[in-house]
Amino acid sequence: MPIKTYKDLNVFRESYGLALEISRVTRKFPAQEQFELARQLRRAARSIPANIVEAGKARSRGGIQEILANCDRLERRMQVVAGNEP
């Protein structure tokens, strides 16, 4: 399937789903983590699909590749797991 918009990119769909998952998970963080780690994770997770949308609007293949290079999904997951540790 040809890529016409950012919505056609698997990475957009996965990063959007991850942002929703991180939002749900971080709401269960302990109170002391709600104002620092949880907020930081939610902002970081939302910025990934937002940056892909921005690059898609510019229709710059180089721009999309640069943004994708900065999206480190495993690091975000690790931070979620670490935030749930006692």
Instruction: Spell out the domain ranges in the chain.
Output: 6-83
Query: In 3-state terms, what secondary structure has residue 53?
Result: helix
pTM of the model as a whole: 0.63
* CA pair distance 41, 56, nearest whole angstrom: 23
Between these two residues, 15 and 71, which has the higher pLDDT value?
15
pLDDT tens sequence across 50-78: 888 877 666 555 555 555 555 555 566 65
Between these two residues, 7 and 76, which has the higher pLDDT value?
7
Q: How many residues does the chain have?
A: 86
* CA pair distance 54, 61, nearest whole angstrom: 12
| Helices 10-26/39-58 angle, 10° precision | 160
What is residue 23's predicted lDDT score, i.e. its pLDDT?
Answer: 92
pLDDT tens sequence across 18-46: 999 999 999 999 988 888 899 999 999 99
Answer yes or no: CATH 1.20.1440.60 is held by domain 6-83: yes
What is residue 73's predicted lDDT score, i.e. its pLDDT?
Answer: 58
